Amino acid sequence: MRYQGKLVEWSAEKSFGFVLPNAGGRKIFVHINEFANRWGRTRPQVGDLLTFEVGLDAQKRSCALNVAPVIAPQQKKLAQVRSDTREFASVWNTRLAWLWILVMLTLLALSKLPWKFVAVWGAINLITYMLYAIDKSAATRGAWRTPESQLHLLALLGGWPAAAIAQQQLRHKTRKPEFRAVFWFTVIANVGATLWLAARGAEYLQMFR
């Protein structure tokens, strides 16, 4: 049986809160894992109207299960438009990432960049993708998250192609405007610095030869 209620408490850090049934009674515990991943934003907010089932958790406490938002038709349409826009941007971000990988390999083939430099760049991308995967898993489980500053630093150091690919494949870090803005700053900065090194930075690349 499904019930309807309002989210009256929510801890973004701990990824859980409490929902108060419209029919009355006590507040019911709810964890982020029970939310359907089809919201127009990243996290639930206090005041959201929800539908849910009631069950027991591992400690035999009452908890909300299979939680879904109550979305008005207009809000649902707006959420779909936003989702389609994010998907379109994500596809092009991935294409740009693969294009840049091709550019890096071309610069290596033309001896514009030393192989050690490209090898380090490849390792940074591997680490970046792994951290995105770990952070996605942590977000799902409500566990400790990877600081966004670390993800941005890796992108700035050259790991942005892996970050762009991970964002699409893992459906992660695609909804927060502030994160996206900083991410694109790191992309522009890294691409500019790399092209400058390939054209005029031979002396700075000596350590990789």
Q: Give the pTM.
A: 0.63
Tens-place pLDDT, residues 93-152? 899 999 999 999 999 999 999 999 999 999 999 999 999 999 999 888 878 889 999 999
* 86 shares a domain with 62: no
Alpha-carbon distance of 66 to 53, in angstroms, equals 6
* 48 shares a domain with 107: no
Q: Please check whether residue 128 lies inside any domain of the structure.
A: yes
Going by pLDDT thresholds of 50, 70 and 90, the confidence category of residue 40 is very low
The string over 130-147, giving b where at least 16 C-beta atoms fall within 10 Å of a residue's C-beta and e elsewhere, is ebbeebbeebeeeeeeee
* 119 shares a domain with 55: no
Amino acid (one-letter) located at 54: V
Q: Alpha helices, DSSP H only, in the chain?
A: 73-109, 115-141, 148-154, 160-169, 177-200
Tens-place pLDDT, residues 177-197? 899 999 999 999 999 999 999
Amino acid (one-letter) located at 112: K
* 155 shares a domain with 54: no
pLDDT (0 to 100) of residue 184: 94
* 201 shares a domain with 163: yes
* 92 shares a domain with 56: no
Please provide residue 104's backbone torsions phi and psi, each rounded to the nearest 5 degrees. -60, -45
pLDDT (0 to 100) of residue 155: 97
Query: Which tokens in the block code for residue 8?
Result: 């009256």
The CA-CA-CA angle for residues 75, 184, 128, to 5°, reads 100
pLDDT (0 to 100) of residue 107: 95
pLDDT (0 to 100) of residue 36: 72
pLDDT (0 to 100) of residue 109: 95
Choice between 176 and 118, residue whose per-residue pLDDT is larger: 118
The last residue of one of the domains, among 20, 49, 70, is: 70
Alpha-carbon distance of 91 to 169, in angstroms, equals 10
- Per the structure, the complete domain to which residue 19 belongs is given by 3-70
pLDDT (0 to 100) of residue 78: 61
| CATH number assigned to the domain comprising residue 53 | 2.40.50.140
pLDDT (0 to 100) of residue 75: 55
Work out how many domains the chain is built from and give that number.
Answer: 2
Cβ contact 65:59 at 8 Å: no
Alpha-carbon distance of 100 to 147, in angstroms, equals 25
pLDDT (0 to 100) of residue 73: 56
Tens-place pLDDT, residues 63-88? 998 888 886 555 556 656 666 566 76
Going by pLDDT thresholds of 50, 70 and 90, the confidence category of residue 29 is very high
Cβ contact 163:190 at 8 Å: no
Estimate the crossing angle of helix 73-109 against helix 177-200, to 10 degrees: 10
Choice between 153 and 85, residue whose per-residue pLDDT is larger: 153
* 134 shares a domain with 195: yes
